[in-house]
């Protein structure tokens, strides 16, 4: 995960605060901190610091909640009542909101976040969370469980926050997976 896209938007990494940034001739950058050199690598001009700390469910909750914006789109559609955040294998966090329509052609927030992830060229989900309009944590519906599980074979290992303090692997939420017959 990258913590900022421009030095004026820098967010400190605990214990690795950047005192100044040094642009590099190849387009990358280096950050100098009281803890030594922090390299941005070949991420393009001022793309950000690579984070070495694991992303927590608290951070995913904050990201999912930040995209909530319940609103009426038309007489037959509403959006933004549920927000979701997916942590990909690269450390990127993808978010999305639900779209509800009168004729059931909408989709869940997890689908929207997964579409953003796929658009960015990724398909492995390490962690996921969905948050309702009132801030409560929601387990994914069956359609979302199945959808995420089919995007990458290892997604059955995805950690899902299903309630406050309750984490389950996606495979536990799909106990009788059609791809793995019970013997």
Tens digit of each residue's pLDDT (9 = 90 or more) over 106-126:
999 999 999 999 999 999 999
Phi, psi (degrees; rounded to nearest 5) at 25: -60, -30
* Structural domain contains residue 118: yes
52: confidence class by pLDDT, cuts 50, 70, 90? low
pLDDT in tens, 131-173: 999 999 999 999 999 999 999 999 999 999 999 999 999 999 9
Averaged pLDDT for residues 63-68: 98
From 52, 70, 92, give the residue that closes a domain: 52
Together in a domain, 92 and 73: yes
* Structural domain contains residue 178: no
| 3-state secondary structure (DSSP) of residue 99 | strand
Together in a domain, 47 and 89: no
Together in a domain, 35 and 82: no
Averaged pLDDT for residues 36-49: 41
Choice between 48 and 152, residue whose per-residue pLDDT is larger: 152
Together in a domain, 46 and 69: no
Question: What CATH code is carried by the domain that includes residue 66?
Answer: 3.40.140.10
Together in a domain, 48 and 106: no
* Structural domain contains residue 179: no
Residue 19 CA to residue 28 CA, distance in Å, equals 17
Together in a domain, 81 and 131: yes
Which DSSP string corresponds to 5-46?
Answer: SSGGG--PPTT--EEEEEE-TTS-EEEEETTEEEEEESS-TT
Quote the number of domains for the chain: 2
Tokens of 176: 């009788």
Whether 148 and 141 have beta carbons less than 8 Å apart is answered as no
Predicted TM-score (pTM) above 0.85 = no
Together in a domain, 93 and 138: yes
From 52, 69, 85, give the residue that closes a domain: 52
Tell me, what's the pLDDT at 71?
97
Residue 25 CA to residue 125 CA, distance in Å, equals 34
Q: Which domain holds residue 34?
A: 1-52
Residue 69 CA to residue 80 CA, distance in Å, equals 5
Together in a domain, 47 and 70: no
Together in a domain, 45 and 68: no
Residue 75 CA to residue 72 CA, distance in Å, equals 7
For the chain, give the longest Cα–Cα distance. 60
* Structural domain contains residue 180: no
| Dihedral angle over CA of 80, 86, 92, 97, nearest 10 | -10
* Structural domain contains residue 113: yes
Together in a domain, 31 and 71: no
């Amino acid at each position: 995960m990258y913590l900022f896209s421009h030095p004026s938007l820098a967010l400190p990494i605990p214990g690795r605060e950047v005192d100044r940034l040094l642009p590099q001739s190849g387009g990358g950058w280096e950050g100098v901190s009281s803890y030594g050199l922090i390299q941005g690598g070949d991420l393009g001009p001022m793309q950000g610091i690579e984070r070495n700390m694991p992303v927590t469910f608290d951070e995913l909750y904050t990201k999912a909640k930040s995209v909530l914006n319940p609103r009426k789109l038309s007489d037959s559609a509403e959006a933004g009542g549920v927000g979701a955040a997916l942590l990909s294998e690269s450390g990127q966090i993808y978010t999305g909101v639900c779209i509800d329509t009168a004729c059931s052609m909408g989709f869940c927030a997890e689908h929207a976040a997964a579409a953003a992830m796929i658009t960015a060229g990724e398909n492995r989900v390490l962690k996921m969370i969905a948050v309702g309009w009132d801030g409560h944590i929601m387990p994914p519906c069956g359609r979302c469980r199945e959808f995420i599980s089919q995007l990458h074979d290892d997604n059955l290992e995805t950690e899902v926050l299903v309630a406050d303090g309750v984490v389950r692997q996606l495979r536990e939420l799909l106990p009788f997976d059609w791809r793995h017959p019970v013997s």
